Amino acid sequence: MLVKPRSSFQIQKSVIFALILREARARFGTRRFGAAWALLEPMCHLLVVSLLYTFLRGRSLSGVEYPVFVLVGLAPFLLYRNTALQLMDSPRENRSLFAYKQIKPLDTFIGRVIVEACMSTTVYGVLVFGFAWFGFDMRITHPIEWLAIVTLGLVFAFSLGMLLALIAHALPSSKSVIRMMFFPLYFLSGVLVPAAYLPHGLLPYLLYNPFLNLLELIRAEVLPLYTPVEGVSLGYVAAWTVVLLFASLGTYRARRLHLVSSKNG
């Protein structure tokens, strides 16, 4: 019986599917708390900031209940942050797999971003259902535009994560610095408050942050009464994404042999 030879694309598709199954099992099969934390993390964020804001300012913001406002921005920010950081750790955690010539570092990047996207989508769906159960209005004003912007942000996070992985592989000591950088981004990206509430003197400089632009654009497509601050641009985010994608793929091509070396990572 002759075995039909498979194309390179078919082999890569099978490899990525196997990596997705492996990644999902590593996240949830051996560590039950990992699955629980995926849901508990955004819930803890929502509970703490909602209680604080209700105590200090009131229950609504920009014509919408504050927990809904936070969830609409928090969910994509956590998706993008977790995607970038998970990709950064991918070469080290999957180094043993590179002994198989069919598996390339790029395959592990793709597998991780798919798992992260599926996990975040599931968590967001559970939270939306829970919010709707308690009477919150969780309708999306422009669902197609919202999905397009969220997807653009995911490509941006994928490009950023791959570049961070290459930097961390070359300079392992930079990982701690990179992780710490996301802490101020949490506050400077408008996760907790609208961009209009940020210091006006700093706002022109804060708008250089692609995450702030993404969250403003996402909220504008979900919340019917929300208006992004002047200067927010979809084209700016798209330009960042294209530049990062070319930079990360170009750097990956130059350093792919270092990634698979057992002496590195």
Question: 144 falls in which pLDDT band (50, 70, 90)?
Answer: very high
pLDDT in the model for residue 155: 96
- Own/partner contacts of 193-201, CB < 8 Å, gap of 24 or more, are 193/61, 194/61, 194/62, 194/69, 194/219, 194/226, 194/229, 195/228, 195/229, 195/232, 196/229
pLDDT at 91: 85
Q: What percent of the chain has pLDDT over 70?
A: 83
- Report which of 154, 156, 155, 161 is spatially closest to residue 105, judged by C-alpha positions: 161
Q: Which residues contact 124 (CB under 8 A, 6 or more apart)?
A: 75
247 contact partners, CB below 8 Å, separation of at least 6 = 159, 163
Token look-up 């490899």 returns: 15
Average pLDDT for residues 62-75, to the nearest whole number? Answer: 82
Higher pLDDT, 16 or 262: 16
Q: What is the mean pLDDT of the chain?
A: 84
Q: Which of 220, 192, 228 is nearest to 70 (CA)?
A: 192
Distance CA 229, CA 217 (A): 10
Helix, coil or strand: residue 60: strand
pLDDT of residue 24: 80
Token pair in block for residue 39: 């849901």
Whether the per-residue pLDDT at 1 is higher than 50: the answer is: no
Q: Which one-letter amino acid corresponds to residue 22?
A: R
Beta bridge partners of 61: 64
- Is pLDDT at 221 greater than 90 in this prediction? yes
Q: 64-65 and 60-61: which strand pairing?
A: antiparallel
Q: Is the pLDDT of residue 56 over 50?
A: no
Residue 251 has pLDDT above 50, yes or no: yes
Confidence of residue 262 (pLDDT cuts 50, 70, 90): low
Query: Using CA atoms, how far apart are residues 253 and 255, in angstroms rounded to an integer?
Result: 6
pLDDT higher than 90, residue 94 = no
